[in-house]
Structure 1
Amino acid sequence: MSKHRRKLTSEDILNLEVFSDPQFTPDGQAFTYVSTTINDKKDYQSQLFYQSLNDNNAIPWTFDNDKNTHLRFSPDGKRAVFQSTRSGLPQLWLINTDGGEAQQLTTFKHGATNPTWTKDGQFILFSALLENDDDIHNQQEMTKEEKQKIKSAKQEHPLVVNRLKYKSDAKGFHDNKKTQIIRMNIQDGSVTQLTQADTDYAFQDISPDGKTVLIAANLNDEADQELSNDLYLLDIATQKMNKLTTKNGSYQQASFSPDGSKIACFGHDFAYKGATLTELYIFDCQSLEQTCLSTNWNFQLGDAMIGDTRLGTSETGPTWNQDGSTIFFIATREGATELHQIELTANHQVLYSDDNHVFGFTYDVVNDQLILGISTPTDPCNFYLLNEDLSLSQLTNGNKTVKDQIAFEKPETLWIKTEDNVEIQGWLIRPYHFTEGKKYPMILEIHGGPHAMYGQTFFFELQLLAAQGYVVLYTNPRGSHGYDQHFVDACRMDYGGGDYHDVMQAVNHAVQMYSFIDKDRLGVTGGSYGGFMTNWIVGHTNCFKAAVTQRSISNWLSFYGVSDIGYFFTEWEHGLNLLDDPSKLWEISPLKYAADVETPLLILHGENDYRCPIEQGEQLFITLKHLKKEVEFVRFPEANHELSRSGKPNMRIERLNHICRWFEKYV
């Protein structure tokens, strides 16, 4: 750490630039990407940038305060389509790559998203929210006044609910709109609706000949009771839909091989419910035969890294190479994500691994090269060209001013062996301006999921606590991704058991290993599952001076019925539903142990959190307050479960300030 750099503050989150979605140009000589920043504390803005591989000058292609994302080049590279909110909702826009103003392509009432070109450049396929009786040939985006009128009209009538899946944290209360796949003729602007049924369709890919659309959906009669989804091949000419998958499972990120003869996808069969490791499948488009390429692997495919500054989406695979012999993908292992490749002959190779976070990549089919998006604990994001010798050449210099001015601390990796011989990985960050011989308080951070992973990525909250003078400890207890199937499954049916002992033994290990940690000044915090564990900890030990529980679970009995996932998550994680054995759910509910809580507890919760609804925080607060415990409740207006990651910027800052305030007061 450079001594001349100042310490981080909560307001510095306003100055971060977050990169995502790298895309090679069709000739492979340049690439584009999305840069997301915060606009005046109120909202986010995303701009499109173009950069040649021959220089480091990124050229902005958009300049407004809107969200411009998902740029995709036409096959000849002369045009590009992207989605933008400049008209109000996300709509599709077309731009000539040699310059000029963008032309609006769609004015759909509820927006249009995720455009993809056919290989001949004649059509664009995209997704749009539609009601059953919507006419796609007569679509106009609503004005602000029209939207307000509809909103007011809804408030005059009760909401009639007749489905199990009637709400979600991302969307709020569901309505009759469904995501459909639309095809647009780029020459005359005419549109054709390719899907019709009363369900949501997730576009996956279009075949190289442009005749078949690859779609993910659940078309079963019991779809409202299921979490599975299948892959379908839709023949555009005949409208015939052929089911590709045969097993009950979840399949996604599917793509055609360059010759259209095969399909690669991620998926799994729920063998371990939500703890099931993802597999890599190949389907033969003629015989529909399914092959699993990852049978002997024991790690998670895709990106399972948790952070609080990852805005925007990026490709994680599976992605075919130019001749269809090899597939590229990201893998999650031991606190890092890596770039792998697998040949159809099953020859598997790690192309890039350097103990950091590969959050996305793009592949150039012309020159057979790759650009990686990488984040480290001290660098939010940058893009790199992967050279033939598998070394990296840095292409961008994102957040240079921030990194020049502010000190970010590099974590130390720990491995802790528990009493039952389970190895737990963790990290420790030393405080800003660390001085040998001085004692420091320590904060334990616990991630959500529980099937997710802490690791070597940029994490603003962790860096902020280190800047405030705390040692920061964070771990991957049993149940975390990045390890083998047994480990990821190990916390199910045992919440508050082995996982609790893992984090507590990690604390004891750190205190014994590092003499600069003041064992009498410890704090703990976590969100979602980490909030549950924080609640559990303060009900079972008094070793922490203060705790901050975020978007937490306190009562599994009520969680079953109020959470958007409660009705299945309870069975997945605990092995029973509410009526099977309510006493067992009460035994593992932190609320039961409220009378034993002596640790000052700050409860942070979003008002619109449907994943871990605010009544979970409210029950805990009222119970502790009634017991005259030291507790405080902070409710964030209009915030859902994603408050810490993509919530309103001013609310994210407020949240960070409350965390720092509580620990400063009590630790």
Structure 2
Amino acid sequence: MRPSDIVHLHSISAPTLSPDGTRAVFSVIRPDLEEDAYTGALWSVPTDGSVPPRQLTRGVRDDAPTWSPDGRWIAFLRLDDDKRAQLHVLPADGGEPWKVTDHPLGVSGARWSPDSGRLAYTARVPEPGRYAGVEPGKEPPRRITGLKYRDDGLGFTNDRRSQVFVTAPIDPSGEPGEPVRVTDADAEHGAPAWSPDGSLLVFSAARHDTRDTDLVEDVWVCAPEAGAAPRRVTSGDLCAASPRFSADGATVYFLADVLGPDLNDFVGQTTGVWSAPTDGSAPPTRLTPEEGPRATGKLQVTDEGLVALVENRGAVHLVRVPFEGGEPITLVGGAVQAQSFDRRGGVTVAVVADGAGSGELVRVAEDGEQDLTSFAEGLDPRPMTELTAHTSDGYPVHGWVTLPEGEGPHPVVLMIHGGPFAQYGWQLFDETQVYAEAGYAVVMCNPRGSSGYGHEHGRAIIGSVGSVTATDVLAFLDEALRDERLDAARVGVMGGSHGGFMTTWIAAHHGDRFKAAITERAVNAIESFHGSSDIGSFFPGPLYGPPETWAKESPLTYADQIDLPVLIIHSEEDWRCPVEQAQRLFVSLRTRGHEAEMLLFPGEGHELSRSGLPSHRVARFEAILDWWSRHL
């Protein structure tokens, strides 16, 4: 895989099934270097695999389809002339789609009512005179009174909160009617879902008085009408998401994290499946163990139980949790990462990736999975080899090594992931494949602090992030270098976000092990991160400790110990790890005459390497390969 081969990487949206389960509809999105954008359309495939998929739509970027309960309609998102996603409805048996919303900032998270007559969704509501119909630089000044006022990749949120809406009755023959605005609180509202009888909506939101200083997200229910008064279902001490009603409407199931006594301890919390009575008559009950796998993505209520995705040692499995709780039943397991799913009409489909591909749609059955799509093309990825190392005190560190062609010995790139509560795993990763194709052995692992290995593994770095993580990644590197095909004399280290933090830390504390480093979108100085990041008001304390320890835990404090060449990559509009984090490191290195370069990407945020402009993603790869060619 070469940098420009990102055009061969497709992503399949969450699939939606017809009510009888016989057909699946999904979107396929790809980077397009000619358009310098991401383009895609809706596709359909029978779930018995009898014929190949066929394309349904021809929009620039059609996405997020959802099938109506009566089987007549497919709602989806299509960009309007201002490139804002609006809801459209397509006849399931063929025909032209029509637009049913016209919000100035677009919409997201649509769900059909049980009678297929309306759609509930969220849309951002801008203050008058902002965002729509006005030049950004000519807007009035923003008056900010709270700490949570912006998000990376989006921008300011205090003046365009996400609210819940319901469309007018779906009518293909006339103009779309005015939607009903259901919520109006100065808060962010999550995607809604309907009760079985259509009388209630359920959604997550932080509507409580202390929402600016804690991480609580409650589950709320209300009538799908203007001026509705939402009623809280949960107890004000969880971070809840993806709520869904039971078949009888008496119970709400949802995903949630425990937040500790101060309601802001997010570090290593293992997201679980929970339930609560809809009427709020009893506190929520956790259905999966705290030490069990971390749930991720969405939750779906089926006749047999609750279906969810869970992380497990670099894999993401599809499981079914019994309504009463207990040990989940694995539906899709093994060395794969399930990305999304749907179940209707007794049929389950899922998008599943492994080390050889970025994800295909499969039908899930007791005797295995049946492939329904094969969109991968133009790539022949190098295989990942699983490896477990041990630290000096015997702690296991799990990860992978990917070798280039040839006998070696090959120069080595040690990659460190972000998060830190995230995981590398069983999925085709463009970073790994590009570097392996260029001749580098790629070494990557999930040290303490990573997700997918239990509650204690995720929390083991609290108060000593740099030292503990470095112990694990260096032990894993040592084990990988036992293979004579890897050249221990030519090793580089790189990472982004938390991985960038660790790259700067290792360059300062263990620089003698490496020839060069690339630190991307990093946290380098915790004190200024606290005041400038979109999550800085709450993030540092639970992870790095009290403010008096931040200098000791900051890589920038030790920048004068760095003696190896450093490439610093950052985005100018990164609000997660603001660009000053890169600038301060660059100035510290250059003012003492050290070899350092800084590569800044205009118009990009924290997610550049994953969802930035295709041309910028290619330019980033080319700069990285140039740096390694010079130093390794």
Q: TM-score, normalised by structure 2?
A: 0.94
Contact 1:167 1:564 (C-alpha < 8 Å) held by counterparts = yes
1:452 aligns with 2:422: yes
TM-fit CA distance, 1:277? 0.9
Match of 1:331 in 2: 310
1:511 aligns with 2:481: yes
For 2:395, give the aligned amino acid.
Answer: V
The separation in 1 between residues aligned to 2:534 and 2:154, in whole angstroms, is 11
1:434 pairs with 406, 411, 430, which one? 406
Q: What's the CA shift string for 1:502-525, capped at 9, x where partnerless?
A: 11111111112x011111000110
Match of 2:251 in 1: 262
TM-fit CA distance, 1:200? 2.1
1:351 pairs with 320, 331, 335, which one? 331
Match of 1:425 in 2: 398
2:110 pairs with 110, 115, 124, which one? 115
Match of 1:252 in 2: 241
Helix, strand or coil at the partner of 2:274: strand
The separation in 2 between residues aligned to 1:148 and 1:194, in whole angstroms, is 25
1:226 aligns with 2:224: no
Match of 2:457 in 1: 487
TM-fit CA distance, 1:376? 1.1
Instruction: Summarize the Cα distance change of 1:545–1:94 in structure 2 as closer, same or farther, 3 Å threshold.
Output: same
The separation in 1 between residues aligned to 2:204 and 2:280, in whole angstroms, is 19
1:318 aligns with 2:288: no
Contact 1:361 1:372 (C-alpha < 8 Å) held by counterparts = yes
1:376 pairs with 320, 343, 354, which one? 354
Helix, strand or coil at the partner of 1:110: coil
1:99 pairs with 94, 118, 125, which one? 94
Percent identity between matched residues is 27
Match of 1:387 in 2: 365
TM-fit CA distance, 1:470? 0.9
The separation in 1 between residues aligned to 2:507 and 2:127, in whole angstroms, is 50
Match of 2:341 in 1: 361
TM-fit CA distance, 1:158? 4.3
Match of 1:308 in 2: none
TM-fit CA distance, 1:533? 0.3
5+ residue gaps, structure 1 = 1-7, 135-141, 304-315
The separation in 2 between residues aligned to 1:455 and 1:210, in whole angstroms, is 40
TM-fit CA distance, 1:224? 2.1
Contact 1:215 1:232 (C-alpha < 8 Å) held by counterparts = yes
Match of 1:522 in 2: 491
The separation in 2 between residues aligned to 1:297 and 1:223, in whole angstroms, is 24
The separation in 2 between residues aligned to 1:147 and 1:243, in whole angstroms, is 33
Contact 2:232 2:280 (C-alpha < 8 Å) held by counterparts = no
1:624 pairs with 577, 580, 589, which one? 589
The separation in 2 between residues aligned to 1:122 and 1:149, in whole angstroms, is 35
Instruction: Summarize the Cα distance change of 1:17–1:203 in structure 2 as closer, same or farther, 3 Å threshold.
Output: closer
Q: For structure 1, which segment, 74-83 or 637-646, has the greater mean C-alpha deviation from structure 2 after superposition?
A: 74-83
Match of 1:57 in 2: 52
TM-fit CA distance, 1:90? 1.1
Helix, strand or coil at the partner of 1:593: helix
Q: What's the CA shift string for 1:349-389, capped at 9, x where partnerless?
A: 2222111111111112x2x2211211111111101111233
For 2:249, give the aligned amino acid.
Answer: G
TM-fit CA distance, 1:574? 1.5
1:44 aligns with 2:44: no
Contact 1:247 1:269 (C-alpha < 8 Å) held by counterparts = no
Q: What's the CA shift string for 1:144-203, capped at 9, x where partnerless?
A: xx956332422xx54443321222212223342221111123246343221122222213
The separation in 2 between residues aligned to 1:295 and 1:259, in whole angstroms, is 22
1:153 aligns with 2:131: no
Contact 1:440 1:471 (C-alpha < 8 Å) held by counterparts = yes
Contact 2:121 2:192 (C-alpha < 8 Å) held by counterparts = no
The separation in 2 between residues aligned to 1:530 and 1:187, in whole angstroms, is 48
Q: For structure 1, which segment, 266-275 or 455-464, has the greater mean C-alpha deviation from structure 2 after superposition?
A: 266-275
TM-fit CA distance, 1:651? 0.5
Q: What's the CA shift string for 1:476-505, capped at 9, x where partnerless?
A: 110000112111100111111111111111
Q: For structure 1, which segment, 54-63 or 480-489, has the greater mean C-alpha deviation from structure 2 after superposition?
A: 54-63
1:640 aligns with 2:623: no
For 1:394, give the aligned amino acid.
Answer: D
Give the 5 Å matches for 1:271-350: 271=260, 272-286=265-279, 288-296=281-289, 298-303=291-296, 316-322=297-303, 325-348=304-327, 349-350=329-330
The separation in 2 between residues aligned to 1:469 and 1:447, in whole angstroms, is 21
The separation in 1 between residues aligned to 2:186 and 2:357, in whole angstroms, is 44
Match of 2:75 in 1: 81
For 2:386, give the aligned amino acid.
Answer: T
TM-fit CA distance, 1:131? 4.2
Contact 2:125 2:163 (C-alpha < 8 Å) held by counterparts = yes
TM-fit CA distance, 1:260? 1.4
The separation in 2 between residues aligned to 1:112 and 1:486, in whole angstroms, is 38
The separation in 2 between residues aligned to 1:282 and 1:254, in whole angstroms, is 9
Contact 2:109 2:192 (C-alpha < 8 Å) held by counterparts = no
Match of 1:235 in 2: 223
The separation in 2 between residues aligned to 1:593 and 1:297, in whole angstroms, is 37
Instruction: Summarize the Cα distance change of 1:204–1:190 in structure 2 as closer, same or farther, 3 Å threshold.
Output: closer
For 2:342, give the aligned amino acid.
Answer: T
State the aligned residue count: 617
The separation in 2 between residues aligned to 1:446 and 1:482, in whole angstroms, is 16
RMSD: 1.9
